[in-house]
Amino acid sequence: MLRLLHFYVKERHVMKIIKTYHRSHLFVSAIRILDYQKSAQPSIEEVCSLLDFSLEQGHFICNKLVEMGIVEIVEGAYGMRLFIKDHTLLEEIPMSDQESKLDEALKQFKATRKGYAKKVASIQADQKEKRKNLFAGLEKKLKSDLKNK
Protein backbone atom coordinates (compact mmCIF):
# COMPACT_ATOMS: atom_id res chain seq x y z
CA MET A 1 0.00 0.00 0.00
CA LEU A 2 2.81 2.37 0.80
CA ARG A 3 4.24 1.79 -2.66
CA LEU A 4 0.86 2.60 -4.24
CA LEU A 5 0.59 5.77 -2.14
CA HIS A 6 4.14 6.83 -3.04
CA PHE A 7 3.47 6.19 -6.72
CA TYR A 8 0.24 8.19 -6.58
CA VAL A 9 1.80 11.18 -4.82
CA LYS A 10 4.80 11.14 -7.18
CA GLU A 11 2.80 10.66 -10.39
CA ARG A 12 -0.50 12.38 -9.45
CA HIS A 13 -0.52 14.50 -12.58
CA VAL A 14 -0.33 11.41 -14.77
CA MET A 15 -3.02 9.47 -12.89
CA LYS A 16 -6.19 11.43 -13.53
CA ILE A 17 -8.78 8.72 -12.97
CA ILE A 18 -8.44 6.37 -10.04
CA LYS A 19 -11.15 3.87 -9.18
CA THR A 20 -12.98 3.95 -5.86
CA TYR A 21 -11.22 0.78 -4.76
CA HIS A 22 -7.80 2.38 -5.17
CA ARG A 23 -8.91 5.71 -3.69
CA SER A 24 -10.14 3.87 -0.60
CA HIS A 25 -6.83 2.03 -0.23
CA LEU A 26 -4.95 5.31 -0.64
CA PHE A 27 -7.15 7.02 1.93
CA VAL A 28 -6.61 4.30 4.55
CA SER A 29 -2.87 4.21 3.77
CA ALA A 30 -2.66 7.97 4.21
CA ILE A 31 -4.32 7.67 7.63
CA ARG A 32 -1.69 5.11 8.64
CA ILE A 33 1.22 7.16 7.31
CA LEU A 34 0.07 10.38 8.97
CA ASP A 35 -0.53 8.49 12.23
CA TYR A 36 3.05 7.17 12.02
CA GLN A 37 4.61 10.53 11.07
CA LYS A 38 2.78 12.71 13.58
CA SER A 39 2.06 10.16 16.31
CA ALA A 40 -1.51 11.40 16.28
CA GLN A 41 -4.60 10.53 14.33
CA PRO A 42 -5.01 12.74 11.23
CA SER A 43 -7.93 14.92 10.21
CA ILE A 44 -9.68 14.65 6.87
CA GLU A 45 -7.95 17.86 5.78
CA GLU A 46 -4.51 16.38 6.45
CA VAL A 47 -5.32 13.22 4.51
CA CYS A 48 -6.70 15.23 1.59
CA SER A 49 -3.62 17.45 1.62
CA LEU A 50 -1.29 14.45 1.51
CA LEU A 51 -3.21 12.81 -1.35
CA ASP A 52 -3.93 16.07 -3.17
CA PHE A 53 -7.67 15.33 -3.05
CA SER A 54 -10.27 18.07 -2.79
CA LEU A 55 -12.04 18.27 0.55
CA GLU A 56 -15.31 17.29 -1.12
CA GLN A 57 -13.73 14.17 -2.60
CA GLY A 58 -12.09 13.36 0.73
CA HIS A 59 -15.34 13.73 2.63
CA PHE A 60 -17.13 11.60 0.04
CA ILE A 61 -14.59 8.78 0.33
CA CYS A 62 -14.45 9.10 4.11
CA ASN A 63 -18.25 8.89 4.40
CA LYS A 64 -18.29 5.76 2.24
CA LEU A 65 -15.57 4.19 4.39
CA VAL A 66 -17.47 5.08 7.57
CA GLU A 67 -20.65 3.51 6.14
CA MET A 68 -18.74 0.30 5.41
CA GLY A 69 -17.19 0.23 8.89
CA ILE A 70 -13.63 0.64 7.63
CA VAL A 71 -12.93 4.05 9.15
CA GLU A 72 -14.26 5.68 12.28
CA ILE A 73 -14.51 9.43 12.85
CA VAL A 74 -14.03 10.63 16.42
CA GLU A 75 -14.81 14.21 17.28
CA GLY A 76 -12.74 15.64 20.09
CA ALA A 77 -11.25 18.85 21.37
CA TYR A 78 -8.90 19.08 18.39
CA GLY A 79 -11.56 18.47 15.75
CA MET A 80 -12.54 15.36 13.85
CA ARG A 81 -9.92 12.62 13.75
CA LEU A 82 -9.84 9.49 11.63
CA PHE A 83 -9.23 6.00 12.98
CA ILE A 84 -8.97 2.77 11.02
CA LYS A 85 -11.61 0.41 12.37
CA ASP A 86 -11.36 -2.67 10.11
CA HIS A 87 -9.05 -2.43 7.10
CA THR A 88 -9.92 -5.94 5.88
CA LEU A 89 -13.30 -4.65 4.69
CA LEU A 90 -11.48 -2.71 1.95
CA GLU A 91 -11.43 -5.87 -0.13
CA GLU A 92 -15.24 -5.86 -0.27
CA ILE A 93 -15.18 -2.72 -2.41
CA PRO A 94 -15.73 -3.66 -6.07
CA MET A 95 -12.69 -3.22 -8.30
CA SER A 96 -14.68 -1.68 -11.14
CA ASP A 97 -16.60 1.53 -10.64
CA GLN A 98 -20.23 1.28 -11.55
CA GLU A 99 -21.99 4.36 -12.83
CA SER A 100 -23.95 5.92 -10.07
CA LYS A 101 -27.52 7.06 -10.49
CA LEU A 102 -26.28 10.64 -10.36
CA ASP A 103 -23.98 10.03 -13.33
CA GLU A 104 -26.83 8.46 -15.27
CA ALA A 105 -29.14 11.35 -14.44
CA LEU A 106 -26.45 13.82 -15.46
CA LYS A 107 -25.95 12.10 -18.82
CA GLN A 108 -29.69 12.05 -19.41
CA PHE A 109 -29.94 15.75 -18.51
CA LYS A 110 -27.11 16.61 -20.91
CA ALA A 111 -28.75 14.63 -23.70
CA THR A 112 -32.08 16.38 -23.08
CA ARG A 113 -30.37 19.75 -22.98
CA LYS A 114 -28.59 18.96 -26.25
CA GLY A 115 -31.96 18.08 -27.81
CA TYR A 116 -33.41 21.39 -26.64
CA ALA A 117 -30.42 23.26 -28.04
CA LYS A 118 -30.96 21.62 -31.45
CA LYS A 119 -34.67 22.43 -31.31
CA VAL A 120 -33.94 26.09 -30.44
CA ALA A 121 -31.38 26.30 -33.25
CA SER A 122 -33.88 24.91 -35.79
CA ILE A 123 -36.59 27.34 -34.62
CA GLN A 124 -34.15 30.24 -34.89
CA ALA A 125 -33.18 29.13 -38.41
CA ASP A 126 -36.87 28.93 -39.39
CA GLN A 127 -37.49 32.41 -37.98
CA LYS A 128 -34.50 33.77 -39.85
CA GLU A 129 -35.77 32.22 -43.09
CA LYS A 130 -39.28 33.65 -42.51
CA ARG A 131 -37.82 37.10 -41.80
CA LYS A 132 -35.71 36.87 -44.96
CA ASN A 133 -38.76 35.88 -47.03
CA LEU A 134 -40.82 38.68 -45.46
CA PHE A 135 -38.21 41.31 -46.28
CA ALA A 136 -37.85 39.91 -49.80
CA GLY A 137 -41.63 40.16 -50.24
CA LEU A 138 -41.69 43.71 -48.87
CA GLU A 139 -38.81 44.74 -51.14
CA LYS A 140 -40.56 43.21 -54.16
CA LYS A 141 -43.78 45.03 -53.27
CA LEU A 142 -41.95 48.34 -52.81
CA LYS A 143 -40.21 47.94 -56.19
CA SER A 144 -43.50 47.19 -57.89
CA ASP A 145 -45.11 50.19 -56.18
CA LEU A 146 -42.24 52.42 -57.33
CA LYS A 147 -42.58 51.20 -60.91
CA ASN A 148 -46.30 51.92 -60.88
CA LYS A 149 -45.77 55.58 -59.89
Helix axes 55-68, 44-51, angle to 10 degrees: 120
pTM, 2 dp: 0.55
**Residues 82 and 149 both lie in one domain:** no
**Residues 83 and 18 both lie in one domain:** yes
- Which residue stretches of the chain are H helix? 2-10, 20-38, 44-51, 55-68, 101-148
Last residue of a domain, one of 92, 109, 135: 92
**Residues 84 and 115 both lie in one domain:** no
Contacts 24+ apart (CB under 8 A), 125-130: none
Average pLDDT over residues 73-94: 87
pLDDT tens figures, 106-149: 889 999 999 999 999 999 999 999 999 999 998 888 888 888 86
Beta carbons within 8 Å of 27's beta carbon, 6+ residues apart: 47, 51, 58, 61, 62, 65, 71
**Residues 73 and 127 both lie in one domain:** no
In eight-state DSSP terms, residue 71 is E
Domains contained in the chain, number: 2
**Residues 141 and 83 both lie in one domain:** no
Per the CB < 8 A criterion, the answer to whether 41 and 35 are in contact is yes
Q: Domain limits at 121?
A: 99-149
In eight-state DSSP terms, residue 81 is E
**Residues 110 and 45 both lie in one domain:** no
Average pLDDT over residues 39-54: 92
